[in-house]
Structure 1
Amino acid sequence: MSRASNDMITWGMMLRKLPSIAKALPRVVKGLNVANVKQPDQPCGLGWSFEHATHRNPDGPALLQGEVKLSYAQVNQWANRIAHYLITQGIGKGDVVGVFIENRPELLVTVLAVAKVGAISAMLNTSQTQQALVHSVNLVEPVAIVVGGELVEAYSVIRAQVAIDAARTWWVADQDTLRDPDEVPAGFISLMRASADCPTGNPASSQQVYLDDPCFYIYTSGTTGLPKAGVFKHGRWLKTSTVFGLVALDMRPDDVVYCTLPLYHATGLCVCWGSAIYGASGFAIRRKFSASQFWNDVRKYQATTIGYVGELCRYLIDQPPSANDRDNAVVKMIGNGLRPGVWSEFKRRFGVNHICELYAASDGNIGFSNILNFENTIGFSLMSWALVEYAHDSCAPIRNSKGFMQKVGKGRQGLLLAKIDDKAPLDGYTDPQKTEKVVLHDVFEKGDRYFNTGDLLRSIGFGHAQFVDRLGDTYRWKGENVSTTEVENILLQHPLIAEAVAYGVEISNTNGRAGMVAITPAESLATLDFSELLSFARQHMPAYAVPLFLRVKVKMETTGTFKYQKTRLKDEAFDPRKTDGDPIYAWLPGSDTYVQITEQVLADIHGGKFHY
C-alpha cells in the first residue's frame, strides 16, 4: 500500500502540469472532433485514413524494415493492386480473410488492402499451431486466407480441417515479395504475382467503409476457454488512431514509430501503426524483438517513438549498460504493462521524456492513456468508468442490499467496469453469447449497462488510475494473454496426466505472471519423464504458454461444487515449503527439462540468477 500512497496525484502535482495541460487541450478538443464520427454513411477507417496520410506525405517513409523503405505512395499503390485483385476474386464487404503472416511489410499491406475492400482481416496469432490454430480459423469462417511463406508448414498441417477454397488460398513469399522469385508451394496462389498488373488507383470501395463496419477480428483469450474473436470496427480504429496519434503523442510526418510488438495484437496493429498513420509518420518494424539490436534499430531508423510492453522494457534494462544508451532520438513511447520499478530507470538510462502508458482491451470499449506524463499510471479516460468491490474467491462484483454494485474509494483497488452507451459502444465478440457474458446490467441504477473488464485498477486521483492485475482464468506473460483452460486441455491429452490445473504465479523482477500447472499423474510420479513432458508442451503450445513450473499432486482438492481451489494454488505458488510435501519442478532458462525445486534453486530464482 505504500507505493499506492506515494503514487497518489496531488493538487500540487496537477498545478505543475498546467503548462502541459494547456498545450494538450487543443489536441484533446481536435481529437474529440475528429474521432467522433456520428454519421453512419460517413467514410472512415483504415483505408480512408491511409489514403489521407498518403495525400499529406506521399514521399515520406511509411513502412521500414531492414533495408526495405517504402513511401506512403508506394504502400498505397501496392495495397490498391491487391485490393483490386481481391475484388476480381469476389472478395467484398463483410467477407472474412484470414491473415497469417509474421511482422513484415507484407502483413500490413495485405491488411490495408483487405480494409480498402471493406472485408475483415482475421489477425491469426502466428505462434499458434495445430488445434488452437484450427479453432481460431474456423471460429470466424473465412472465405480466404493469406499465408506467409514462413508459416506454410504450420498452415499445411491443419489445412484439411478448415474449409477454405484452394482458389482463395494465397501465399506471400518470405522475402522482398515485390520481386517474388520463389517457387509457389503446391496448393497456393502467389498473391503478389496475381495482383502485379492490377490498377494502382484507390478503389471506390475504400470510400464505402463506415464506422460500424468491422475492420479486424483480433483474438483474445478473454477470461476462460479457447481464443475468442473480438470485433474491431473501423469507427473504433479511427478513434484509436486519433486519440493516441494526435491527443497522446502529437505525431507528425517527421516522426518514426519503431515497433517490435506482434502485429496480430491491438497494441501493435491499432495503437502503434494507427498513431503513425494519423501523423503520416514512418512505421519501422522488426520480425521479432531483439534486446541486443533494439537501440541499433532505433538509431538506424531515426525513430522518435517506440512501442512497448512492460516485459520488453525490462529486457532492455537487463542489457549491459552502454556509453551510447542515450544516443537515440526517442522522446516518447507508448504501450502498456510498465512496472514502477522499471519506469524511472528506463527514462533516466535511455533519455526518454514521455512514457505514454495506456490501458485498453481489443474486446472492450474503454481506453486510458497517460497524456500528462505522470509516473506509474495508465493515465485517464474520457469514457465513463468505475471501480467496484469484488469477491476475491469468485472474482465477481459484489452487490449491496439494494442490488447495486459498490464503488471503491480513492487509493483502493477495484474491478474496472466501463459504461456501455452511444459514446462507448461495445463491439464485443463474433459470438453474441460470449459478448453477453461480459455485460453487467443494473449496476448503479436500473437499466444501465457496463462492460466487465476482468481487470483490477487502483484510483490515484484526478481521474487517473494504475493497473493492478488481471482477474479470472487468464494471466499475462511475455506480453501475451494465456488461457489456463487451453493449457489444461493440451496437457490433459498427455497419456500420463490425469488432472491439470493451470494458473499464473509471480516471479520477482518480471512482468506479468508465469505459467504454473498442478498435475495429478495417471499412474505415479515415477512414471513421469520430465524431459519428455517439457518437449510435449513445447510442441503443442506457443512458447509463452509453456508452463515454467509444475506441482505434482496425488489428489487435487476441489470445492463443494467440484471447482479447483486455484486461489490457494496461486498463493502457495512454487515454494516447496508451502505445498504440504507436493514436489515442485521448474523449467530453468537454457535447460531442456523440469528440475525439482530445492531451497537453493528457490533462492536462485528469487535472487534473479535466472533471466526469464
Structure 2
Amino acid sequence: MSGWVDLYPLLVLPSWVPGAVAGIISMYLIQRVIFPYFWADLRYLLKVLIYGLRVEIYRLQGRIFTVLDKFVKLAEKQPHKPFLIYEGKVHTYRDVDRKSNRVAQVFLHHGALKKGDTVALLMGNEPDFIHVWFGLAKLGCVVAFLNFNVRSRSLLHCVSSCEPKILVVGADLLGTLEEILPDLQKDISVWIMTKDSTFSSVHTLLDKIEAASEDPVPVNRRSANNLKSSVLYIFTSGTTGLPKAAVISQMQVLKGAAGLWAFGATADDIIYITLPLYHSAASLLGIGGCIELGATCVLKKKFSASQFWSDCQKYNVTVIQYIGELCRYLCSQPVVIGEIICQVVISNMRKIGQIQVYKLHEDMWTLFFPFDLIKYDFQKDEPIRNKHGWCEKVKKGEAGLLISKVNAKNPFFGYAGNKRHTEKKLLCEVFKKGDLYFNTGDLMVQDHENFLYFWDRIGDTFRWKGENVATTEVSDVIVMLDFIQEANVYGVSVPGKAGMASLILKQNTLLDLEQMYKQVVTYLPSYACPLFLRVQDKMEMTGTFKQQKFRLVDEGFNPATITDPLYFLDNSRKAYVFLTKEVHEMILSGKIKL
C-alpha cells in the first residue's frame, strides 16, 4: 500500500496539462481539416531547401557537380545496376557509360567538335538517344533535341535556328532526313545511326561506335564553367507558329533532375518513361531524375494505352510520369487485371490531374517557384491592366494566365538565336515598377483547396495529345494548296482540344480532300493535322482584323447545328470523309478513337 502512496504524486497531473492536451488535439484536427497537406508540403520544402544549399555550397567551393558527373560516379559505384530497360533488354550504368564513351571517342576523332559547339539530335525513344546525348555532353557540346514529329519546312527551321555543327539522325527517321537533306545547310555534317548509307554526303555512326574505344575522354571537356552555361536546346511550339529553341542551363538541368527525389522517389524505384525524350519531362525529370536517385528507368518507344499497365506489372514499375492527356487515354481503356495488381506511385500529382500548392506556405513556395495567375483578355489576347497600368490577380476558381517571376534565383535564358521571341515571352511592370515575369502561355485555375488545373493555352495555340499545336503553322501549310484562299485553325472540345480548320475556297475551285490529306500528313506532325474541316463562304474577322475564332470554337463540329459542310480525318481510311451525324455520335461516344 505504501508503494501506491509513493506513486500518487506522479499520477496527479498539473491542472493545465489536460487543457494543453486538448488544445494540441484541437490544433491537430483543425490542421487536418483546413491544412491537410501541411506536413507533406513542409517535408517537400525542406528537401528543396537542402538541395538548394548543396548546390550553393558546390558553387561557393568553385565546384559544379553536374547531372552527367553524377552519372559517371554512379557508373563507378554501381556498375551492374540496371539503368535503362528497353524492350526487355537491360542496359546497366556501366553499359551506358561505356557506350556513351564510344560515341564521344567517335566525334572526338571524326567530328572536329569543339567544346560549346551545338549538335542537333533527331531520334526517337531508344537507348542510343541516351548514348549519343551523354557522349556529346562528355565533349562539352550543347545538344539540341529535335521533335521527330516535325517535318519538312518546320524541321529545317528548327535545325537552322540552333546552328548545329552536326546533325545526328536515328535509323528509323531516314525518310524524314531525305525530305530536308537537299535544303540542309552545306556546313552541317550529317550522321545517321546505321552501318551503311545510301546518301553520298552522309556519315554512318553505328559502325564507328562499334569500332571505337571505351576509354573516357578528358574530364575537362565536359566540365561546366558556371551554372548558367547552356547545355541543351529543347524546342517549344510557342504561340507564333514555328518552333523555338529554349535555352536550358546547367542549373535548370539540376533543378529538373531533383524533381523525382523531391517528390519522395528513391534509388529502389523503377520509373516508367513513355513520354518522348525530346521533351523536358522525359529527359530532364525522367532520365535526369533517375540519375539523381541512382534508380532504374523503363524506356518505352512510344506511349501505348493498351500496353501501359501490363508493362508496369511486367517490369515492377513503381513510378510513372504524368501529363494531362495521359490519364484520359488510360481511363478510356478497358480495366485489366494488371491495373488492379500494379502498385504504382504517380509522380507530379497528389490529386489526379492537378498540381498541389499549399496556401499556408505560399510565400515559401514562391521563394522557389515564384508564380501568379493574372487576369487575361481573351478577345484582345493580352493581360488585363487596371487604370494604373498594373496587372491584377484572379480570384479562386477563375482562369488566369500563369506567370513566373524572373530574377537572379529564377532566370529566363530565352530562345536560341531569336531575341524578338525571347522579349515577347517577358512581361514588364506587372505589379510594380521594374518587375519582370515570364509568360508561360498557360491558362490555369486555382480552386479553393489551392490545387491548380490546366485550363487552356493562350494565343494561337491549343494542346492535343500532350503537344502544343501552333495554329498559324497549320494554316500556313494548308494555304499552300492552290484551291485554298484562307484557313482559320483552332481547337475544339472532343474531350481535349482537337484541331479544326475553317476553310475559304478560291473562286471556281472545289475542295480536293485527297490533296488536303496528303498536304497535312506530309508537312505537319501527326498531332497537328486537323481532325475536322469546315468549309465556309466567308471568314469572320474581329474589330482588329484578326480571324474570329471564339464563335467557331463554341460551335464545334456538330453537323446537327452547323449547316456548313464538315469533314473528319479518318485515320483508318487515310482520308478526310464527310462528317455525318452518325460519325459525330461515334466520336463523342468513343467508338471512333482519335
TM-score range, shorter chain: 0.7 to 0.9
- Structure 1 residue aligned with 2:262: 247
Match of 2:159 in 1: 137
SS at match of 1:208: coil
Contact 1:44 1:235 in 2 (8 A): no
Between the aligned partners of 1:156 and 1:543, the Cα distance in structure 2 is: 18
Q: For 1:304 and 1:437, locate their aligned partners in 2 and report how far apart those are by CA, in whole Å.
A: 41
Question: 1:159-180 deviations in whole A, cap 9, x for unaligned?
Answer: 12122547x422213xxxxxx6
On the 8 A contact 1:62/1:72 being kept in 2, the answer is yes
Letter of the structure 2 residue corresponding to residue 42 of structure 1: R
Give the Cα–Cα distance (whole angstroms) in 1 for the partners of residues 502 and 375 of structure 2. Answer: 29
Give the direction of change, closer, same or farther, for the CA distance of 1:156–1:557 in structure 2 (3 Å limit).
same
C-alpha displacement at 1:41, in angstroms? 5.4
Retained in 2: the 8 A contact 1:45–1:209? Answer: no
2:525 corresponds in structure 1 to 542
Q: Deviations over 1:389-444 (max 9, x none)?
A: 11120221111111111111233221111110011101111111110011111111
1:533 and 2:516 aligned: yes
| Closer/same/farther in 2, CA of residues 40 and 572 from structure 1, 3 Å limit | farther
The 10-residue stretch of structure 1 (53-62 or 91-100) with the greater mean CA deviation from structure 2? 53-62
The one-letter code of the counterpart of 1:437 is: K
Contact 1:115 1:206 in 2 (8 A): yes
Name 1:91's counterpart in structure 2. Answer: 113
Contact 1:114 1:121 (8 Å CA) reproduced: yes
Compare CA radii of gyration and give the structure with the larger one.
2
Segments of structure 2 that go 5 or more residues without pairing to the other structure are: 1-29, 359-363
Answering whether residue 163 of structure 2 is matched by residue 148 of structure 1, we say no
1:366 — aligned with what?
Answer: none
Which fold has the larger relative contact order, with Cα–Cα distance below 8 Å and residues 6 or more apart in sequence? 1
Distance 1:108 1:164 in 2: 27
Match of 1:583 among 555, 560, 565: 565
Question: Would the aligned equivalents of 1:40 and 1:211 in 2 still touch at CA under 8 Å?
Answer: no
Tell me the TM-score normalized by structure 1: 0.84
Q: Secondary structure at the match of 2:542?
A: coil
Matches within 5 A, 1:119-198: 119-165=141-187, 168-173=189-194, 186-195=200-209, 196-198=211-213
Q: Quote the Cα distance in structure 2 between the aligned partners of 1:397 and 1:554.
A: 33
* 1:138-537 matched pairs, under 5 angstroms: 138-165=160-187, 168-173=189-194, 186-195=200-209, 196-201=211-216, 203-204=218-219, 205-242=221-258, 244-248=259-263, 250-334=264-348, 370=356, 382-430=368-416, 431-460=418-447, 464-507=451-494, 510-511=495-496, 513-523=497-507, 527-537=510-520
Change (3 A) 1:93 1:108: same
Contact 2:357 2:452 in 1 (8 A): no
Cα separation, 2, equivalents of 1:202 and 1:332: 38
Counterpart contact for 1:261–1:289, Cα < 8 Å: yes
The aligned residue for residue 570 of structure 1 is 553
1:545 shift after superposition: 0.9
User: Deviation digits for residues 309-348 of structure 1, max 9, x if unmatched?
Assistant: 333322222222223322224223348xxxxxxxxxxxxx
Change (3 A) 1:460 1:186: same
| Paired letter, 1:231 | V
The residue type equivalent to 2:550 in the other structure is T
Corresponding letter in the other structure for 2:478: L
Can you give the 5+ residue segments of structure 1 that lack an aligned partner in the other structure?
A: 1-9, 174-179, 336-353, 359-368, 373-378
Residues 1:70 and 2:57 aligned together: no
SS of the residue 1:207 aligns to: coil
Contact kept in structure 2, 1:44 and 1:234, CA below 8 Å: no
Pairwise CA distance, 1:209: 5.0
User: Paired residue for 2:537?
Assistant: 554
Give the CA RMSD over aligned residues: 2.6
Check conservation: 1:220, 1:227, Cα contact below 8 A. yes
Q: Which amino acid aligns with 1:534?
A: Y
Quickly say closer, same or farther: Cα 1:604–1:357, change in 2 above 3 A: closer
Native 8 Å contact 1:94 1:213 kept in 2: no
Contact 2:356 2:452 (C-alpha < 8 Å) held by counterparts: no
% identical aligned pairs: 34
8 Å CA contact 2:504–2:538 kept in 1: the answer is yes
Question: Which stretch has the larger CA shift, 307-316 or 278-287?
Answer: 307-316
Please say if residues 305 and 333 of structure 1, whose CA atoms lie closer than 8 Å, have aligned partners that are also in contact. yes
Task: From 39, 49, 52, give the equivalent of 2:70.
Answer: 49
The residue type equivalent to 1:94 in the other structure is G
**2-side partners of 1:396 and 1:22: how far apart?**
36
Q: Contact 2:118/2:165 (CA < 8 Å) preserved in 1?
A: yes
The aligned amino acid for 1:399 is R
For the Cα contact (< 8 Å) 1:276–1:283, is it kept in 2?
yes
Tell me if the contact between 1:455 and 1:469 (Cα under 8 Å) persists in the aligned partners: yes
Contact 2:119 2:167 (C-alpha < 8 Å) held by counterparts: yes
Shift of 1:12: 4.2
Q: Tell whether the 8 Å contact from 1:411 to 1:458 is kept in structure 2 after alignment.
A: yes
Partners of 2:290 and 2:173 lie apart in 1 by 27
Change in Cα spacing, 1:405 to 1:170, as seen in structure 2 (3 Å) is same
CA contact (8 A) 1:44 1:211 kept: no
CA distance change for structure 1 residues 123 and 506 in 2, over 3 Å: closer, same or farther?
Answer: same
TM superposition shift of 1:91: 1.3
| CA pair 518-157 structure 1, distance change in 2 beyond 3 A | same
Q: Deviations for 1:47-85, whole angstroms, at most 9, x for unmatched residues?
A: 223223334432211111013211112211221232233
- Partner secondary structure for residue 422 of structure 1: coil
User: How far did 1:459 drift?
Assistant: 2.4
1:281-304 deviation digits (Å, cap 9, x = unpaired) = 112112122222222322332221
SS at match of 1:410: coil
Partner of 1:609: 591
TM-score (norm 2): 0.87
Number of residues paired by the alignment? Answer: 554
Range with greater deviation from structure 2 (93-102 or 27-36):
27-36
